[in-house]
Amino acid sequence: MLLALPDILPPAAAAKLRELVLAAQWVATGGNGAASRQLPHDALVTRTAQAEVTAALMDSAAFLSAALPHSVFPPVFARHREGGCSDGQVDRAIRCHKSTGARIRTDLSCTLFLTDPADYDGGELEIGGRFGKASYKLPAGHMLLYPSASLHRVAPVTRGERVSCFFWLQSLVADHSARELLYDLDQSVQELAAERGKNDDEVLRLTAIYHNLVRRWAEA
């Protein structure tokens, strides 16, 4: 499950959110001096920005189908200037949120890009796995969904500034290949329903199969 989801935020909304967070107070994070900063988790503006992202997620049929979200951890907003990067890491399996006390199993990691790729160099999201290392730099408003179990880091920014939002989520379906299979099956159901209607016999049978697989695999 490594999936680029276009247009979680339309370009204008992404720009507006970027401006909102850029106007706030930021705090430095370990290691890179002022090159890497985050929004404080308990600031009012953080909560406003988080609400906007969460609402956009809940409106995205592609996100819901691909992630089957159980609980979404409050998003973190980060900015990286020249020299800013993040260490390679596998995310901790269980996370508790400082403010809310919420606890989740980190099945999936998400990075919502908020700066246009033309406005900075470097800063790719690098994800490693058995398939080698891949680099991602998506348009503002697009989001990458990837397994928290994979090694990932932000490559050093070498020009400009990269603003992004990242968060973890616990999925209703913990197993990645099961979740991918459900996503594929949902794609087939949507395609066939668009062609043949929702009450077509094959559409009904495949829909029942989809729900019975979710039932088998989901921890609600």
Under rule CB under 8 A, residue 155 binds its own copies: no
Choices 10-18, 40-48, 49-57, 198-206 (CB under 8 A): range interacting with its own copies: 198-206
Distances (CA, A) of 107 to 17, 27, 43, 211: 26, 27, 26, 21
- The answer to the question of residue 25 lying near its own copies (CB under 8 A) is no
Q: Which of 86, 106, 109, 111: binder of its own copies (CB under 8 A)?
A: 106
Q: How far is the CB of 64 from its own copies (least distance, A)?
A: 11
Q: Which residue has the tokens 């989901």?
A: 218
- The secondary structure of residue 100, as a DSSP letter, is T
Among 1, 9, 154, 165, binds its own copies (CB under 8 A): 1
Contact call for residue 193 and its own copies (CB under 8 A): no
**Alpha-carbon gap, residue 115 to 94, rounded angstroms:** 29
Burial class for 215, CB neighbours closer than 10 Å (0-12, 13-18, 19+) = exposed
| Contact status: 13 vs its own copies (CB under 8 A) | no
Q: Does 207 bind its own copies (CB under 8 A)?
A: yes
- 215 counts as binding its own copies under rule CB under 8 A: yes
Largest CA distance in the chain: 61
Helix (H, G, I), strand (E, B) or coil at 35: helix
CB count, 10 Å around CB of 37?
20
**Is residue 2 a contact residue for its own copies (CB under 8 A)?**
yes
Give me the amino acid identity at 111.
T
CB of 31: closest distance to its own copies in angstroms?
12
Q: Which one of 117, 121, 180, 193 is in contact with its own copies (CB under 8 A)?
A: 180
**Considering only 18-26, 53-61, 78-86, 170-178, which stretch makes contact with its own copies by CB under 8 A?**
170-178
C-alpha to C-alpha distances, 71 to 89, 100, 172, 179, nearest whole angstrom: 22, 13, 8, 15
By CB under 8 A, is residue 64 in contact with its own copies? Answer: no
Q: Among 31, 151, 194, 197, which residue sits at the site for its own copies (rule: CB under 8 A)? A: 151
C-alpha dist (Å) from residue 110 to 15, 142, 188? 19, 10, 25
Other C-beta atoms lying within 10 Å of the C-beta of residue 53 = 22
Binding its own copies (rule: CB under 8 A), the pick from 92, 100, 119, 158 is 92
Q: Hunting for tokens 């370009």 — which residue is that?
A: 11
Binding site for its own copies (CB under 8 A): 1-3, 90-94, 103-107, 127, 129-132, 134, 148-149, 151, 170, 172, 174, 176-178, 180-181, 184-185, 187-188, 191-192, 201-202, 205-216, 218-220
